[in-house]
Structure 1
Amino acid sequence: MPALISRMGKRLRKLIERPGSVELTKYEALLPDIEALEPELEALSDTELTERAGKLRLEAELGDPQLVELCALGREAARRALDERAFDVQLLGTMGLLSGHVVQMQTGEGKTLAGALAAAGYALQGKRVHVISVNDYLARRDGEWMKPVYDLLGVTVGWVDGSLTREERRTAYDAEVTYGAVSEIGFDMLRDRLVTRAEDVVQPDPEVAIVDEADSVLVDEARVPLVMAGSVDQAIADTEVANVVRRLRLGLHYETDTDGRNAWLTTAGASVVEKALGGVDLYSESGSERLAAVNVALHAHALLTRDVDYLVRDGKVELINASRGRVAELQRWPDGLQAAVEAKEQVAPTDRGEILDSITVQALIARYPQVAGMTGTAVAVAEQLREFYRLEVAVIPPNKPNIREDLDDRIFASPSHKLRAIVTEIREVHETGRPILVGTQDVAESEELAEKLAKADLPCVVLNARNDAEEAAIIAEAGKYGAITVSTQMAGRGTDIRLGGADGKDRERVAELGGLHVIGTARYPSSRLDGQLRGRSGRQGDPGSAVFFASLNDELVTSNAPDVPDGIDADDSGEITDPAAKRHIDHAQRVAEGVDLEIHRNTWRYTRLIEHQRRELLEYRDKLLRTDAAAEALEGEKRYDELVEKAGEETAKQVCREIMLYHLDQLWSDHLAFLTDVRESIHLRALARETPLDEFHRIAIPEFRKIVPRIQERSAETLAEAEISADGIDLAASGVRRASSTWTYLVHDAPFDAGFEETLRQVRSLLRRKKN
């Protein structure tokens, strides 16, 4: 009877499509058959094992018998290559991935092996697989680590990172399974989008993506644009404006909104700035450029904080990825803001680039016909995965029950009371010898806490964006007896914390004391990030505990729910035990999650049209690149016959190809810049009671339709005006000049999301000033 009730419950959950609703029963039923094959496979030689895996290539699809065979072969390959026998739950994860789901597997449950076996399964079906990770380090580590397993299964594997040459990249992508960071795979796609010879393409058409840390890639970074830029000149920051803005005071000269996304001059501030700049009228037509420079400098000064939003290291401004607590490599703000921050910090400005192309992470993933993913915290974003990617979550049970003790939040009236309590907690737990992991919100907080601990004679190791290169070694030792590790965001760190340290020498001793104790110094803007920090303790049935400290003056609360209910009182130590305080912090977190989701939705509403246009234009570009379509388009134009006569037919075809591809790329770059300008000003159109998104479409679609005719017109003009010789055409002299160098980076998109209300407020203020 209980079994019947359980089955009915599972079916009901699936029927109403609740998060984590994928039915696992059919996969669980295959586990005994997989185990029954073990003795037979153990008797095979390595060569025989590889040959048997090769027989799966002859199968039309992976039905139940093929899944059983694949999982049994994978388990045996892992046993031989890694001395690891895959757990049943890892095989459930493999089958979930092969069914196109996002599998949720807890920290330490072996996602890497489950993902490798699934990738091998797709490869044996003849599909090219990209295993997409959050950074280069994890891509290379996992590719090298799993290579012996792939070798035994007869599957080729490669990996890409920023150090590889074009030929090395092509070789990596030619493998059946390729590991790579989401940014690196995206950048290769953008580079391929600019080649003028088909043989220079390095990345084949996408087929299957298996996304590691799927919540981080598919949700946290979904709207981050990857950018390909061509060199123009060095960025010019207005240092005079930066020096003026540096002297402005909050509340007197400028105001900011509660969530820290906007800053604007007060009347007094505008007067001070105008006087300091020589009496310019910022709000007149002639002062518009100076006003733009003042606004961007004010945003850099007031809204971006050193050691929270960015670091200054080796004379460069380096952005911090807030969700991962490490330097965001290759990431920058749009050029004007980047230059303003560099001026603020008085470092040399970086090169300014003309954006040649860009694509969001979400649009990049949408190019894959099949997507699956794995992470430790998918249920919390199950609705977003379904809404944006049509992916369902399969919750894989842990191999051993989780016995971690999740303690109630400890809440304080102020951050200073909270910090004192955290130091006391660390001292008390450290005296027992238990290892402690402290998760902080940002670099500045991690260093402040480390300083307090040093004064209290509690030595600790700090892991933050300043020393993220050593992160694997630091995390690996965080479970040692007596260790205190202070870290920024632990999401996507990719390394397990083993009790007793990397060698596990003191494992039993640490386990008897209670295992790893995790302390969160504040609740994160997402409950999922809270769960990721807690999940560092209690891996594979280990003992452990976790507790979060919070304050009613933490940024999470002041930004999202500043109106704290009356009657919440603290004791003499500043601690609050009233349950209403916990409810209020939970509410603030839900508000933050809702705001982030709405920004994601809004971004996708606009970029969906751009991606549709990109696909349409790329099909045309691919036709120009791989066929004689360019020559056919220009053969009726003036001087085409002269070109063929002087340079020969093959040279003429390549010249036509390069001319048309140049103008296509230039017009697409111009179109992207145009759409950016439209989108940034689109909310002003709501003043006329037009729907911004509808207005965006009304403007964007006719402009896009002009691109192909313009390519033809401009290409014909170039051919008519060019100087033709036996070598063809001097393209550079004819104006067909590609960027002398290109580089790639991610844009920290819209750090201040200018909302409609703020736009209205500033417009009204401007109108009042003009009227007066």
Structure 2
Amino acid sequence: MIKQAVTNFLGTKFERDVRKIQPIVDEIHRHEDRLKHFGEEELQAQTEKFRRVIHERTHELAEKIAELKETKKRTESASDRERMAMQIGQLEPELHTATQEVLDELLPEAYATVREACRRLMNKDIVVRGHDMQWDMVPYDVQLIGGIVLHQGKIAEMATGEGKTLVATMPLYLNALPGRGAHLVTVNDYLAKRDSEWMGTVFEYLGLSVGCLDATEPGTAERRAAYECEITYGTNNEFGFDYLRDNMVHGLADRVQRSHNYAIIDEVDSVLIDEARTPLIISGPVGREDNKRYGEFNAQVSGLARKQARLVNALLAEAEELLGRAEGEEGDQDAWYQLGEKVLLAHRGMPKNKKLAKLLQEPGVRKIMQRVEADYMREKRLHELEEDLLYSMDEKGHQVHLTDQGLDTLSPKDHEAFVVPDLSQVFHEIEKDESLSTDEKRAKIAVQEREYAEKSEKIHIIHQLLKAHTLFERDTDYVVENGQVIIVDEFTGRKMAGRRWSDGLHQAVEAKEAVTVRGETQTLATITIQNYFRMYDKLAGMTGTAETEEGEFHEIYGLEVVVIPTNRPVRRIDQDDVVYKTKREKYAALLDEIERNHTRGLPILVGTTSVDTSETVSRMLRRRGIKHNVLNAKYHEREAEIVLQAGQPGAVTIATNMAGRGTDIKLAAGVVKCSVCAIDAQQPSFGRFREEADLDGARANEFGCNDDPPCGLVILGTERHDSRRIDRQLRGRSGRQGDPGSSLFFLSLEDDLMRLFMAERLAKIMDKLGAEEGEVITHPWVTKAIERAQKRVELTNFEARKRLLEYDDVMNQQREVIYDLRLFALEGGEDLKGEVWDMIRDAVLTRFDEYVPETEHEERWDLAGLKNRLLLEFFLHCPELPDENSLDTALEWEDRDAVADYAVERAETAFKKKLEDFGEEAERILSYIFLYTVDEKWKDHLYDLDQLKAGIYFRAWGQKDPLVEYKKEAYEMFVDLMGDIRTTLADRLFKAQMMPPQPMRTPRITRVSGPTLDTTDEGYAPGAAAPAARGFAPTGVAASAQAGPPTGVSDAAAAAAGVPAAARGPSTLVTNRGEGPAPAKPVSTGDKVGRNDPCPCGSGRKYKKCHGRPGSPPL
């Protein structure tokens, strides 16, 4: 009560925020009055004036930073470079702060300049996406407020139709003035292209350049030019993948992005929340091909699912008999309890079974099932009950578990087929067996490793197939088109062509649908949406629905949400939900409501949560003879046309998750009856006086304006989404810019949300209300229960996104180190030479520590072993160290530090000699070897991290926090990675040899694995570097199929030499969001050993650590 009184007195937080901004709006108007008298050239000269002011206030800091960077590049001393890096790190935040202070001062005049430019462009003919239009927009005061909020680095919540596209022009203009770039991030390529052309009219009038990423191809000069523009539009996927691609290139000139200065994210909740559960991934083909195995096991798993269905139907038949006994013999608790066990078992085996859904509607059945489940879980005996099934399902956790009976069904003749051996115990027994020689032990260990790998892979494939058959539904989670499985976005209803589920799940769904099973891929580069956008110096966003996720925006991104008032009051009537017992009753009532409003001549938008539901409603409407349009993942190509027609009188549009599609439904003439609505007149528009309504209060009530509006767009929802925000977005399609409208949701107790997250409360409520079949439920208890269920789901999803970020934060720190190393290599100079030398010195000292341990007495130093190791691994000749058969001993080297200094000195001499031998090509050769080594090791490290993450959750069974364990082991793996990089880099550099140019051969057409390329000679494309440009080759690398091209050599040449896509760069790799062509499959000449498979030699080590190492002898 006290809180409400304070709010009534002081206003809400958002009202207070707007009051603070109002003085800035008033100042904008004062500048605008002055600018009205400016001539055309004088107004356009404002841009140069602003730039000059910014330069005068910041140039000293900017020049100091540039000078330090250039000096650091030429400095060889590691300590000096580190000192300069710290100075740069201190000065850059100062420059950002100084720039923001100037922009804050310029804001009122800059916004007034944009507004005056919009006014002068009124009625000008423009062309947007091939359509002739006239400029007809000048920002309202509420749009000025939204623009100010965006400049402040906050999220502006603005209702649908309030002109967010125009709002963004003002902060983009202001933040582009320093010349470091300003980005506008959209949710799809259509909006990026449309808005860059549409709003580009204003920017170009004021002298700013505008680019669009989605109008260019990745990695091209055009893409780079788009980033060089002062303002750049693009989708979140393109921005994120360009960052990953930039950190895979082999030449500095191939990078396209510049600094991450300022970004505005349109539909910020869709990008930062809905998309945040899936990281951006660039992948390449894995070493093995086991696609056929998914098809082989699919028949078995499909048969298992059919057998489970028969088992569940039998359980339900028994349950129905028990129900008759329990109801007939009042007080027979045993019958009730047995009934609960049967129903619970059926629910765990097939939760969407129609007979089960009908049985759960009987009074008391759901309640007894929940009681039985609670008893078994409390006693930890649920697994005993589930052993009567072939597999059990957990819909909430999206998991499926194969029981022992299911395993026996899959392999009735071999009960050990799915029993994975305990390798640690097996290895221990082999090591203890004194009857075996060392080689025999290695051979036995290799056999056990292969058996373990085969069984694990078989279990993994079957588990993924089982998930595909039980948890993933066609036309809900995915669609099948042209022989391909295409994922459907659960939030937008859009098809996500090119995106694939990971870990073999997509292959399992492909096998289930009997389409071609494509190969698995391996992660080469990845970043989460959260960590990408957190790189920006200043981030802002705008959406129609952010308030419900305000806590997540603040906790994850440090973004504050400000609700901007609407320009005109919202006239939409949001009616209470109507709830029915069954879906059949719900659909019947929905169709009656559609027909009623259709005959009234009102446009209707029916919002569904899946493709399947939209097509079900469509079939019902066709049977009633009602014409309509369907907008879902199958018909998205007609989106613009369908949305254009959706506001016509009597139009019926069925849309899957219409929210966030970025286009307004504009009402046709005649749909709105009054010029000034009676509801609208109850409160004044923002900053205006109250208007006189066309109808008085009595007439408005007579026409139903306050409860059942006779005009405007009608929103009808077929079920509630898991998130309240998505429901608000659907409702927000109606009532734009003061238009009238209404919204109503039709629900049933069989809906997924109600069934999964409201079962216990609903069971009690239904029993108390005694609802009969066909009766509508509108009790406040149900409404509150729905809201609580949605909050629970939102909390679960938030925890999932937060957990993903916590795990990615570990990788993000490692990724920053690796990408900094790559930047060293790309930029070259003394900085690169110094970094390479530091790595070589560390590699030599690592070997020194192995042979000359600090804890050992000098008599136990293995100086001969050190000498041989340095010679074999790094080609370092150390004549002063004793040989194995030498009479000299370690006693001649009594000082351990002297041995280390000697080894380092020999390495430094050899390093300088190598640089002299390389001559003018030294920097390019260093860059190439450095990049190739880092990329190869980083790729393997990402694979190992994926494997670690996949199994880390089992640590919880041992009472350990999986996240803590992951951080600890990931750090240890990263230490190993850096050591591996240092050693491999030193090995390859010292073994690299200059080679004479290859003689020219008769021109021939070369076939390459990848995009179609017509190449001649040695596979060099026209304009590529001549063969002499690759006049060196690291020994043991040039002949390897894993070798990458030197900087300056074309992709075609690399492909002709047998270089895989992963080594060539990102142009032929595939992303999980549909960007880039699918990787071409290499020609196979026999069974290929995967890099992480056991080495066939029987050593017991992984192939990549044994005969798969560059320079190793062939098998």
TM-score (norm 1): 0.90
State the alpha-carbon separation in 2 of the partners of residues 594 and 547 from structure 1: 25
1:568 aligns with 2:769: yes
Q: Report the CA distance shift for 1:608/1:644 in structure 2 as closer, same or farther (over 3 A).
A: closer
1:31 and 1:306 mapped to 2: Cα distance? 52
Q: Deviations over 1:636-676 (max 9, x none)?
A: 76476676566x42323212211111121222222222222
1:17 is matched with: none
Distance (Å, rounded) in 2 between the aligned partners of 1:93 and 1:380: 18
Structure 1: distance between partners of 2:771 and 2:496 = 39
C-alpha distance in structure 2 between counterparts of 1:92 and 1:77, whole Å: 18
Cα 1:154–1:162 shift into 2, 3 Å: closer
Q: Distance in 1 between matches of 2:520 and 2:459?
A: 21
Q: Matches of 1:21 and 1:349 in 2, distance apart?
A: 56
Partner residue in 2 for 1:728: 1032
Asked if 1:527 corresponds to 2:724, the answer is yes
1:353 to partner: Cα distance:
2.6
Two-structure CA RMSD over aligned residues (Å): 2.5
Query: Is 2:164 aligned against 1:111?
Result: yes
Are the aligned partners of 1:412 and 1:570 in contact in 2 as well (CA < 8 Å)?
Answer: no
Q: Which of 41, 47, 50 in structure 2 is aligned with 1:53?
A: 47
Q: Which residue of the partner structure matches residue 756 of structure 1? A: none
Paired position in structure 1 for 2:247: 193
Tell me by how many angstroms 1:65 deviates.
Answer: 5.4
What is aligned with 2:565?
Answer: 397
**Quick one: structure 1 residues 62 and 559, their matched pair in 2 at CA, closer, same or farther if it must change by over 3 Å?**
farther
Matches within 5 A, 1:536-575: 536-563=733-760, 564=762, 565=764, 566-575=767-776
Structure 1 residue 335, shift from structure 2 partner: 4.6
Deviates more, 1:93-102 or 1:22-31: 22-31
2:291 alignment partner, one of 236, 245, 250: 236
Deviates more, 1:583-592 or 1:90-99: 583-592
Map of 2:526 onto structure 1: 358
Contact in 2 for aligned 1:77/1:149 (Cα 8 Å): yes
Counting only pairs closer than 5 Å after superposition, residues 708-727 of structure 1 correspond to structure 2 as 708-722=978-992, 724-726=994-996, 727=1031
Cα distance in structure 1, aligned partners of 2:18 and 2:821: 43
TM-aligned CA deviation for residue 533 of structure 1: 0.4
Q: Distance in 2 between matches of 1:469 and 1:614?
A: 38
Contact 2:723 2:793 in 1 (8 A): yes
1:684 aligns with 2:954: yes
**Secondary structure of 1:706 counterpart:** helix
Query: CA separation in 2, counterparts of 1:38 and 1:690?
Result: 63
> Shift of residue 307 of structure 1?
0.6
Task: After TM superposition, list the pairs within 5 Å mapping 1:39-188 onto structure 2.
Answer: 39-57=33-51, 58-59=53-54, 60=57, 61-62=101-102, 66-81=106-121, 82-161=135-214, 163-164=216-217, 166-188=220-242
Q: Give the Å deviation of 1:561.
A: 2.4
Deviations 1:152-195 (A, max 9, x none): 22221101127525111000000111111111111111110011
Q: Deviations over 1:531-590 (max 9, x none)?
A: 000000000000000011111221012222222223233345242233322222222211
User: In structure 2, how many angstroms separate the alpha carbons of the residues matched to 1:88 and 1:448?
Assistant: 45
Could you tell me how far 1:723 is from its partner in structure 2? Answer: 5.1
Aligned 8 A contact 2:399 2:467 in 1: yes
Distance of 2:751 and 2:920 partners within structure 1 = 67
In terms of mean alpha carbon deviation, does 198-207 or 568-577 score higher? 568-577
| Structure number with higher strand proportion | 1
CA 704–162 in structure 1, closer or farther in 2 if over 3 Å, else same: farther
SS in 1 for 2:412: helix
Question: Unaligned regions of 5+ residues in structure 2, if any?
Answer: 58-100, 122-134, 309-348, 350-388, 422-450, 678-708, 841-873, 876-909, 997-1030, 1045-1058, 1062-1067, 1075-1115
What are the equivalent positions in structure 2 for 1:251-262 lying under 5 Å apart?
251=349, 252-259=389-396, 261-262=398-399
Q: Which amino acid aligns with 1:88?
A: D
Q: Secondary structure at the match of 1:702?
A: helix
Q: Distance in 2 between matches of 1:142 and 1:265?
A: 51
CA apart distance, 1:472: 2.2
For each residue in 1:257-309, what CA deviation from the matched residue of structure 2 results, as whole angstroms up to 9, or x when unmatched?
A: 14260112233322221139x77621243433211111011111111111111
Pairing partner for 2:803 from 602, 605, 630: 602
**Higher mean Cα deviation, 241-250 or 200-209?**
241-250
Conserved 8 A contact 1:109-1:539: yes
- Kept in 1: contact 2:716–2:746 (CA 8 A): yes
Question: After the TM superposition, which residues 470-481 of structure 1 pair with which residues of structure 2 at under 5 Å, given as runs?
Answer: 470-481=638-649
Question: What residue number does 1:739 align with?
Answer: 1060
CA 694–284 in structure 1, closer or farther in 2 if over 3 Å, else same? closer
Q: In structure 1, the residue corresponding to 2:411 is in which secondary structure?
A: helix
**Hey, what's the Cα distance between the residues in 2 that align with 1:645 and 1:122?**
48
The answer on whether the counterparts of 1:22 and 1:395 sit within 8 Å (CA) in structure 2 is no
Q: Is the 8 A contact 2:103 2:174 kept in 1?
A: no
Query: TM-score scaled to structure 2, two decimals?
Result: 0.63
- Secondary structure at the counterpart of residue 332 of structure 1: coil
Q: Distance in 2 between matches of 1:393 and 1:157?
A: 28
Aligned residue number for residue 281 of structure 1: 417
Distance 1:584 1:214 in 2: 28
Give yes or no for the alignment of 1:489 onto 2:664. no
Q: Deviations over 1:122-148 (max 9, x none)?
A: 112434111111111111111111101
List gaps (5 residues or longer) in structure 1. Answer: 15-19, 748-772
The 3-state SS of whatever aligns with 2:488 is strand
Quick check: 1:666 aligned with 2:993? no
Alignment partners' CA distance in 1, 2:153 and 2:16: 11
Give, in whole Å, the separation in 2 of the partners of 1:267 and 1:351: 30
- Specify the alignment match of 1:212 in structure 2: 266
Q: Secondary structure at the match of 2:942?
A: helix
2:226 is paired with a residue whose SS is: helix
CA contact (8 A) 1:522 1:554 kept: yes
How far apart, in 1, do the equivalents of 2:671 and 2:592 lie?
Answer: 25
- The answer as to whether partners of 1:652 and 1:728 remain within 8 angstroms in 2 is no
Deviations 1:682-739 (CA, angstroms, capped at 9, x unpaired): 2221222222211111111122123233212112222344453031227542542363
Counterpart secondary structure, 1:44: coil
Which deviations, in whole Å up to 9, do the C-alpha atoms of 1:372-428 show, x marking residues without a partner? 000001111100000000110111100000011001111111111111110111001
Q: Per-residue CA shift, 1:449-499, capped at 9, x if unaligned?
A: 000001011111000011212212211221111100000012210000111
1:243 CA drift (Å): 1.4
Spell out, residue by residue over 1:48-82, the C-alpha distance to the aligned partner (whole angstroms, 9 max, x if none): 22111332221454566522212211112223342
Match of 2:711 in 1: 514
Match of 2:23 in 1: 29
The residue that corresponds to 2:477 in the other structure is 309
Higher-Rg structure is: 2
SS state at 1:399 partner: coil
- Higher RCO structure (Cα 8 Å, ≥6 apart): 1
Q: Which moved more, 1:551-560 or 1:377-386?
A: 551-560
Q: Which moved more, 1:393-402 or 1:218-227?
A: 218-227
> CA 1:223–1:62 in 2, change beyond 3 Å: closer, same or farther?
farther
Mapped partners of 1:642, 1:328: distance in 2: 54
CA contact (8 A) 1:21 1:392 kept: no
1:579 aligns with 2:780: yes
Please say if 1:463 is aligned against 2:631.
yes
Question: Are 1:592 and 2:793 matched, yes or no?
Answer: yes
Secondary structure of 2:541 counterpart: strand
Percent same amino acid among aligned pairs?
36
